[in-house]
Structure 1
Amino acid sequence: MSSDTTSAPEYLRKILLAPVYDVARNTDLNFMPSLSERIGHDIWLKREDQQPVKSFKLRGAYNKIANLSEQAKNRGVITASAGNHAQGVALSANRMQVKATICMPETTPDIKVDAVRSFGGDWVDIVLIGKSFDVASQHAQQLAQEQGYTYVPPFDDPDVIAGQGTIAKELFDEKRDLDIVFIAVGGGGLAAGIAVYLKQLKPNIKIVAVESDESACLQKALTHGEPTPLDKVGIFADGVAVKIIGKEPFRLCQQYVDEVITVTSDELCAATKDIFDDTRAIAEPAGALSVAGIKKWLANNPEASQNKLQIAGILCGANINFHTLRYVSERAELGEKKEAIIAATIPEEKGAFRKFCEILGGRAITEFNYRYAPSSSAHIYVGLKLRRGEDELQEVLAELKQNNIDWFDLSDNEVAKQHVRYMVGGRAPELTNERLFSFDFPEYPGALLSFLQTLGERWNITLFHYRNHSAASGMVLTGFDVKDSDMAEFTSHITKIGYQFRDESENPAYQFFLK
């Protein structure tokens, strides 16, 4: 049945008849006691991390393949994915003994390739091709046409959407008094499937879609009235790193989703900690979107506190690389507004740091970076523990101002948090023409060499900082010695490298500590 003729009642029928429990499980709905007590509402978490592939994607993939004709199954299926969808297709194909080809970028971490191979067994062929998902996807579509395979989309398909909608059936069966449900959005299949089911059974339930502010494709589609590609997508929440929402998910979300909210990476880290504290589950960044959305929505809607609400979020996945936890741990307190980072200028004299700490009034300092400079003043990078969030930070800043200490709040400054905190004190006074740029750097063998070879030897590199967080892409901060008269030529040259970049020369963190 084509998507443009799939009515809401037909979706209801497809969800009720979906045979996903041949392979998927009816996951737990856990109460979150600590978070509920803190924010004054009952918060429930649907644990899709309990699926065999640690993600909800198994439901949609299995339902799509199960609904194929025997002839289509005999010809085989194909998909492109570097993550949860690939694992869902692999396990589904193995269980139904359908031959599957899965195209993945060459940059896919070995842990994900090995997981797909393990779930698929002899029924899955893995094709590693290209440096990006787009190349792998194009190859999969080409093979589908040439070999007669059925393409299994990750989200833009009625059977896939109906498979994800089985989560809504379980939610409604277990807890019918829910007031609001928060759902992560990448391509939109999960939100569409849940919303089209719940809104038919309980029209007054509120559905809130939650997106990463680095990949808000539903919000952009709503603004333009149709699916519209994003200019760029951040990859921290890689499970929802989608440039354009699917047409069918958008049609359903436009009709059945009440509100869309975006959250930052720091807020995702804080939500990951909340989930761990209450359930001991370790969510991937995309998996924590719903909880981050719950907290932000309630903070933005204080009137909701008049009545205790029954709220559910979907923990949609837990396929997180262990080393990414280092980043999550570092940023969780910032996302919770329990830590602030400030740059301050103090006199370069004995006792200045002690006096600075006295002004802070005994508040805990979480980080302090400083290096002697031969001048009358010193710039310091300070992390500060906060008990009362933003209100307490404003008190601190006011106290610093009263004591004639200049300050700058770096709590939302990505360059400061990603790079400068590890580099404070490295000044080179003779570099009067230094320009600073940040690059989104692909994680694959030879990427650094390719970068340097493309850059050539025309401009001297004056600064380089990179830290691996085991993601598909990393962040690099680079300084160059470039005269004003050469800037046009330089900008044209680095554009040819093909990596996303930003001029950070006026970034206050750089101005304070490195320029």
Structure 2
Amino acid sequence: MNTTTPHTLDFKSATERLKNVVKRTPLEFNAGLSSFYNANIYLKREDLQIVRSYKLRGAYNKISSLPQELLVNGVVCASAGNHAQGVAYSCKKLGIKGVIFMPEITPKQKVKQTYMFGGENVEVVLVGDTFDDCLKEALAYSAEKKATFIPPFDDEKVIEGQATVGVEIFEDLPDLDMVVMPVGGGGLASGVSAYLKTVKPDVKLIGVEPLGAPSMVTAMEHGGPYTLDEIDRFVDGAAVKRIGHITYEYCKELLDQMHLIPEGKICTTILKLYNEDAIVVEPAGALSIAALDQLKDQITGKTVVCVVSGGNNDIERMQEIKEKSLLFEGLKHYFIVRFPQRPGALKLFVNEVLGPQDDITRFEFIKKTNRENGPALVGIELSNKNDYASLLQRMKDFKFEIIELNQDQTLFEYLV
């Protein structure tokens, strides 16, 4: 990107346009993270935004910039949730009609929130398994009804609105050294980076994606936007199959690094934020903080801002989040166990094979007609991941035949 491109974004006008619409979110010093990483860690709390994510900024900036004649037939968007809520809020605020397409897997909480913010001004259509599926439907609807499509990320006005996150960060903390941001479609990273590189060229800008949806990393490897065949949809706020053309250009030139974070690590971060700081974040909102382990050698003594992008987490997902965290941390393991054909084998397993701090979290015989001697699916939770080797050794010593399902992804997905 040449040096004039960022100036096509009118940061001042966007800030003025959003002044009485969005909440100026706090930039909070986090003592726990700062102590752990020996750095000054600040959290930009976009999870405390009106719609509990930064997406309102770009949506409102785009819609409010449209000429009146384009709003007669209303607007339409596609979203995994947060952009939908930003568009819904904007529609109600501006008194226009909006039709919002969301994937069928969107958490119910996000659908309810969309209706809450948009009221009678919006209609929600659930379609497809991914953001990209519902995007196709939204574009078709837009063409048929002549409704103006509001892109979730690949649009200059949307990027311009997201840039106001960077404006607030710099105003509150001009001496920052690094900003870590989640990357889904790339709108937030593009806007924040474009502004900060303009006012503080030496700032380090880090983009972070979920390991299961590396659309920006893959685009950078291929020299342009590239459609991924499959993605892990767990981090729904940052899981897209294809990055935008505009956002790719911004991020390619302005981001200093891109990092991929395993979904399990993201889950561990969600739980820590909740338990230690009483902060509720969605998976995408935890991305920047989850990346600190990978950045720890770079941030010692530095002033670092992590953008917490959203807090729209459905309580119904918490069990899944805990499970993914335990698996990632090496604390939960699943086995197929074939018990020796001798009396008391199950009692022996519980009393002698399991460690004193180990818990059986799941037990079921796979063959319903052979409950005494048939194989069983057994889930075991450890208190310390280092106990795993001794657990395996005891299984071997007592002649229990096992298959480690954590090591066999196909069997794991089929049985667990």
The TM-score normalised by the length of structure 1 is 0.69
Q: 1:48-84 CA deviation, whole Å, 9 max, x = no partner? A: 1111211111010011112222333445322222411
Which sections of structure 2, spanning at least 5 residues, go unmatched?
366-370
CA gap of 1:417–1:294, structure 2 versus 1, over 3 A, is farther
Corresponding position of 1:245: 243
Asked if 2 retains the 8 angstrom alpha-carbon contact of 1:208 and 1:261, the reply is yes
Q: Does residue 325 of structure 1 match 2:322?
A: no
- TM superposition shift of 1:403: 5.1
Asked if 2 retains the 8 angstrom alpha-carbon contact of 1:345 and 1:380, the reply is no
Give, in whole Å, the separation in 2 of the partners of 1:71 and 1:6.
31
Corresponding position of 1:339: 331
Equivalent AA in structure 2 for residue 385 of structure 1: L
Q: Does residue 309 of structure 1 match 2:306?
A: no
User: SS at the partner of 1:317?
Assistant: coil
- TM superposition shift of 1:168: 1.1
Give, in whole Å, the separation in 1 of the partners of 2:170 and 2:411.
45
Asked if 2 retains the 8 angstrom alpha-carbon contact of 1:54 and 1:318, the reply is yes
Name the structure, 1 or 2, with higher relative contact order (CA <8 Å, separation 6+): 2
Q: 1:74-110 CA deviation, whole Å, 9 max, x = no partner? A: 4532222241111101111211223333234566565
User: SS at the partner of 1:252?
Assistant: helix
Give, in whole Å, the separation in 2 of the partners of 1:368 and 1:136.
37
Deviates more, 1:134-143 or 1:26-35: 134-143
**What is the count of residue pairs matched by the alignment?**
405
Corresponding position of 1:355: 352
Which sections of structure 1, spanning at least 5 residues, go unmatched?
422-515
- TM superposition shift of 1:255: 0.6
Give, in whole Å, the separation in 2 of the partners of 1:23 and 1:164.
13
Corresponding position of 1:183: 181
- TM superposition shift of 1:189: 0.6
- TM superposition shift of 1:188: 0.8
Q: 1:411-444 CA deviation, whole Å, 9 max, x = no partner? A: 56556666635xxxxxxxxxxxxxxxxxxxxxxx
Q: Does residue 100 of structure 1 match 2:98?
A: yes
Identical residues among aligned pairs (%):
32
- TM superposition shift of 1:221: 0.1
- TM superposition shift of 1:261: 1.4
Corresponding position of 1:48: 46
Give, in whole Å, the separation in 2 of the partners of 1:382 and 1:135.
35
Q: Does residue 209 of structure 1 match 2:201?
A: no
Give, in whole Å, the separation in 2 of the partners of 1:92 and 1:191.
22
Give, in whole Å, the separation in 1 of the partners of 2:280 and 2:360.
24
Give, in whole Å, the separation in 2 of the partners of 1:98 and 1:179.
42
CA gap of 1:262–1:400, structure 2 versus 1, over 3 A, is farther
Equivalent AA in structure 2 for residue 207 of structure 1: L
User: SS at the partner of 1:178?
Assistant: coil
Corresponding position of 1:454: none
Q: Does residue 374 of structure 1 match 2:367?
A: no
Equivalent AA in structure 2 for residue 325 of structure 1: M
CA gap of 1:246–1:18, structure 2 versus 1, over 3 A, is farther
- TM superposition shift of 1:265: 2.0
Give, in whole Å, the separation in 1 of the partners of 2:408 and 2:17.
48
Give, in whole Å, the separation in 2 of the partners of 1:37 and 1:130.
44
Deviates more, 1:152-161 or 1:163-172: 163-172
CA gap of 1:177–1:338, structure 2 versus 1, over 3 A, is farther
Corresponding position of 2:284: 286
Equivalent AA in structure 2 for residue 7 of structure 1: T
Give, in whole Å, the separation in 1 of the partners of 2:146 and 2:9.
27
Asked if 2 retains the 8 angstrom alpha-carbon contact of 1:15 and 1:162, the reply is no
RMSD between aligned alpha carbons?
3.4
Equivalent AA in structure 1 for residue 231 of structure 2: V
Equivalent AA in structure 2 for residue 103 of structure 1: F
Q: 1:352-401 CA deviation, whole Å, 9 max, x = no partner? A: 433324xx5x44446464756538xx7774534344x5xx2576478659
- TM superposition shift of 1:206: 2.1
Deviates more, 1:313-322 or 1:182-191: 313-322
Equivalent AA in structure 2 for residue 152 of structure 1: I
Q: Does residue 420 of structure 1 match 2:415?
A: yes
Give, in whole Å, the separation in 2 of the partners of 1:417 and 1:180.
39
User: SS at the partner of 2:231?
Assistant: coil
Give, in whole Å, the separation in 2 of the partners of 1:35 and 1:420.
38
Greater CA radius of gyration, 1 or 2? 1
Give, in whole Å, the separation in 2 of the partners of 1:160 and 1:289.
21
CA gap of 1:278–1:174, structure 2 versus 1, over 3 A, is farther
CA gap of 1:242–1:11, structure 2 versus 1, over 3 A, is same
Asked if 1 retains the 8 angstrom alpha-carbon contact of 2:217 and 2:258, the reply is yes
User: SS at the partner of 1:22?
Assistant: coil
Corresponding position of 2:368: none
CA gap of 1:400–1:261, structure 2 versus 1, over 3 A, is farther
Give, in whole Å, the separation in 2 of the partners of 1:102 and 1:200.
34
User: SS at the partner of 1:282?
Assistant: coil
Equivalent AA in structure 1 for residue 352 of structure 2: K
The TM-score normalised by the length of structure 2 is 0.84
User: SS at the partner of 1:182?
Assistant: strand
Asked if 1 retains the 8 angstrom alpha-carbon contact of 2:11 and 2:195, the reply is no
Q: 1:468-504 CA deviation, whole Å, 9 max, x = no partner? A: xxxxxxxxxxxxxxxxxxxxxxxxxxxxxxxxxxxxx
Asked if 2 retains the 8 angstrom alpha-carbon contact of 1:168 and 1:198, the reply is yes
Q: 1:339-360 CA deviation, whole Å, 9 max, x = no partner? A: 1426477756557433324xx5
- TM superposition shift of 1:247: 0.6
Asked if 2 retains the 8 angstrom alpha-carbon contact of 1:35 and 1:278, the reply is no
Corresponding position of 2:140: 142
